[in-house]
Chain A
Amino acid sequence: MATVLGGITTSHIPAVGNAIQKELYDDPYWKPFFDGYPKVHAWIQEHKPDYVINIYNDHGLGFFLDRMPTFAIGAAHEYKNEDEGWGLPSLDPFPGAPELSWHIIESMVADHFDITSCQELAVDHGFVVPMQLFWPGAPNNPDMPKAVPISANTVQHPIPTLARALDFGKALGKALRSFPEDAKIVILGTGGLSHQLDGARAGFINKDFDQYCLENIVSNPEELTKVTRMELVEKAGAQGTEFLMWMMMRGALGDEVNEITRNYHIPISNTAAGTLLLECAA
């Protein structure tokens, strides 16, 4: 059976993709952000996962408002990015793992999570930037795992509750651990932390709330299920609702985790950037 090694969270800001392209790792603005990643690289080098479950939120590339899945799972042989309206570079396709995708979908639906399955799915910066951060040169990195994208709706309310996101993760973890292959799996939870792009409150960042989330997601994620969705918008900002991806990731790891590394920096672009690597306790 497959093993879940752990989970990694990161913000997935589009500007990070540009910074990587320009190799701004030592630039004074970017250094405090990129300094959060060497320990993640070392951990990935040590464990070399075979599969990556990339939990992100689409921002208007893969899905439009004509049909908006609350939870969508990619089941394709490969995933392509697009320029998203900003002229982002087109990368080579990311290799998929449809056999694992369908195993997850079967297991999740049996556990009462109604899934939208996607045999074609354009992946945006929410998926791509974390891959580039963790596997430099992605997808052309010799250690690049095969990917299963999972997207949750944070574009349009009603969005899932934090409790539902955590439960989704628990069911996902169960699905992964029953995959009949001796494989190692890592789970990404991307997006966040606090930020708001729109309206007169644009630029809102909330360090105290982010710290509360970072603390609790490690050792007491159930505490965070008390946060209502409207509180999440109020305290994390309209786009800080991406924290739901972190909850989904965390649910899949099981109760006991070891924190390997953590980074938090304000601001990157309009966002409080957070990175966390949690290893499943043996």
Chain B
Amino acid sequence: MDQPGYDYHIDIPGTTIFDGKMAMKGYALNKMCYSFNKAENRDAFAADEEGYMAKYGLNEGQKQAIRDRNILKMIEEGGNIYYLAKFAGIFKLSVQDVGGMQTGKTTEEFKEFLASQA
């Protein structure tokens, strides 16, 4: 879905603007992650990841990103961080863990980076 002639956004390096286009692209992935609000759904995913992804209709790129635990790829595939955070919750990952995973830092390095901006 592109709307030629309209540029709603500016380019911000390292930042994906989650707009209608991304929301459409990532709908299935985000819907699956939204389901993880419920413990029984987290358990169902853990018991059969492939079956659970198929049930929500994820495309192959989204499935592979989930299999690889690749947060940047999930975002590229339309994932929104607020829903992806619930996926991360299954693995007890903190937002510093997730920050490190996206920036090529260890969790400790990422925490130091945060503190360095004080």
Residues of A within 8 A of B (CB): 15, 59-61, 64-66, 82-87, 155-158, 196-207, 230, 233-234, 238-239, 265-267, 269-270, 272
Contact assessment for B10 and A230 in the assembled complex, using a CB-CB cutoff below 8 Å: yes
User: A85-B85, A266-B114, A270-B114 in contact; A199/B96 too (CB < 8 A)?
Assistant: no
- Which one of B8, B36, B110 contacts A157 once the chains associate, using CB atoms below 8 Å? B8
Minimal Cβ-Cβ distance residue in B for A63 = B34
Assess whether B67 is interfacial by the CB under 8 Å rule. Answer: no
Q: Report Cα–Cα, A234/B87, bound state, in Å.
A: 26
A-B contact pairs, 15 of them (CB 8 A): A15-B95, A60-B37, A60-B86, A64-B30, A65-B27, A157-B20, A199-B72, A200-B103, A201-B12, A201-B15, A202-B103, A203-B113, A234-B15, A267-B115, A270-B95
Please, how many residues of chain B have a CB less than 8 angstroms from a CB on the other chain? 48
Q: Which residues of B (67-86) have their CB < 8 Å from a CB of A?
A: 71-72, 75, 80-86
User: A156-B23, A158-B8, A198-B102 in contact; A267/B114 too (CB < 8 A)?
Assistant: yes
Assess whether B5 is interfacial by the CB under 8 Å rule. Answer: no
User: A85-B89, A238-B15 in contact; A65/B102 too (CB < 8 A)?
Assistant: no
- Which one of A61, A64, A87, A206 contacts B31 once the chains associate, using CB atoms below 8 Å? A64
Contact assessment for B31 and A65 in the assembled complex, using a CB-CB cutoff below 8 Å: yes
User: A60-B82, A270-B95 in contact; A199/B117 too (CB < 8 A)?
Assistant: no
Chain A residues positioned under 8 Å from B102 (CB to CB): 198-200, 202
Q: Report Cα–Cα, A34/B107, bound state, in Å.
A: 24
Minimal Cβ-Cβ distance residue in B for A84 = B37
Contacts A60-B37, A197-B95 known; 20 new A-B pairs at CB < 8 A: A59-B85, A61-B37, A85-B42, A85-B90, A86-B89, A156-B23, A198-B81, A199-B75, A200-B14, A201-B12, A203-B103, A206-B117, A230-B17, A233-B12, A234-B10, A234-B12, A238-B16, A266-B118, A267-B118, A269-B95
